[in-house]
Structure 1
Amino acid sequence: MSDNTANVYEAPEANLTQNNDGSNKPILNFDRFSAWGVFFLAVITLGIYSVYWLVNRTNKANSLAKNQIAQGLIYGYVALYVVNLVLSIAGIVPELGFIVSLASFVVGIILVFSLRTSLTELINEGSAEPVKLNGILTFFFNFIYFQYKINEAIDRQQ
């Protein structure tokens, strides 16, 4: 007998496990991290971690979702945040600081609700039952609420 022929009496082999590479469950590509950890890191760093979290998760969502968030919106938010931080520390021209602070808030809200749309899409893509992210909770607790919902979706889909 040659090496190329299979043993007729050998049981057939088949891969019976599902390939769980995250292609049909894109939310599994996100890291699971405690929502309390996100909250305490944001408090300890005086809000800087929340900006990092938003930028990081937005870039991750952009790589996975069909609803893309414009990179200009992300960069604009970070730039306004930095300018607002510098003006707040320096205390120069309070009127300008107020305008920049208001602009940073508005751009931040637009970014958060854009991310909400992308995260809803990513969570629902691999979920058996549709999930809707609450607008009021998004407004008040944005990054903490998002991390909680990401963790919840990861737990359900694993």
Structure 2
Amino acid sequence: MSEESVNIYEAPEAELTQQNNGGNKPILNFDRFSAWGVFFLSLITLGIYSIYWLVSRANKANALAKHQVNQNLIYGYIAIYAINFVLAFTDISEVLSAIASIISLIVGLVFIFSLRTSLKELINEGSNEPVHLSGILTFFFYAIYFQYKINEAIDNQK
């Protein structure tokens, strides 16, 4: 009787931790997705997809980068965004809505630029030439611009 036939009802064992496929090129762990896809999905979902995109990429960047985006900042931004979204469709108070919008803008900018620092670190870690992520383009086109730069880095490092 062989060793394999003794434990035929035992569950198979597998390594479940995520392997770093990029070696010294951590940006290769990101998925390549069209920047136009990010744009149109964000447009169709009224900006909700861009929030999902930011949170998912921030979590992946936190797993790979030395500079990490604060988790409280991520959750705070989601909460403030949800409050602001609800206030936009209700007629409670314009002053309250304006305050929520200003707070959402400030927390969002801190979150986006913190993610920019992490992504810049990940893109430049395995790159032959340092890549600069523009602050102005980050401000206006954050998710689309980040996805474009991620795709560019993946193409250059493969």
Give me the whole-angstrom Cα distance separating, in 1, the residues matched to 2:152 and 2:21. 19
Q: Deviations over 1:62-113 (max 9, x none)?
A: 0000001110000000000000011111121110010001100110000000
Q: Deviations over 1:12-68 (max 9, x none)?
A: xxxxxxxx9212100000000000000000000010000000001000100000001
Aligned partner of residue 86 in structure 1, secondary structure: helix
The equivalent of 1:33 in structure 2 is 33
CA apart distance, 1:123: 0.3
Letter aligned with residue 54 of structure 2: L
Letter aligned with residue 43 of structure 1: L
The equivalent of 2:56 in structure 1 is 56
Aligned partner of residue 89 in structure 2, secondary structure: helix
RMSD value, Cα: 0.9
Q: TM-score, normalised by structure 2?
A: 0.86
Q: How does 1:1-158 map to 2 (within 5 A)?
A: 21-158=21-158
Aligned partner of residue 90 in structure 1, secondary structure: coil
Aligned residues: 139
User: Alignment identity in percent?
Assistant: 69
Give me the whole-angstrom Cα distance separating, in 2, the residues matched to 1:58 and 1:151. 16
The equivalent of 2:17 in structure 1 is none
Unaligned residue ranges in structure 2 (runs of 5+): 1-19
Give me the whole-angstrom Cα distance separating, in 2, the residues matched to 1:31 and 1:21. 12
Give me the whole-angstrom Cα distance separating, in 2, the residues matched to 1:156 and 1:30. 14
Give me the whole-angstrom Cα distance separating, in 1, the residues matched to 2:121 and 2:142. 17
Unaligned residue ranges in structure 1 (runs of 5+): 1-19
Give me the whole-angstrom Cα distance separating, in 2, the residues matched to 1:21 and 1:40. 29
**Which portions of structure 1, spanning 4 or more consecutive aligned residues, are displaced by more than 4 angstroms?**
none
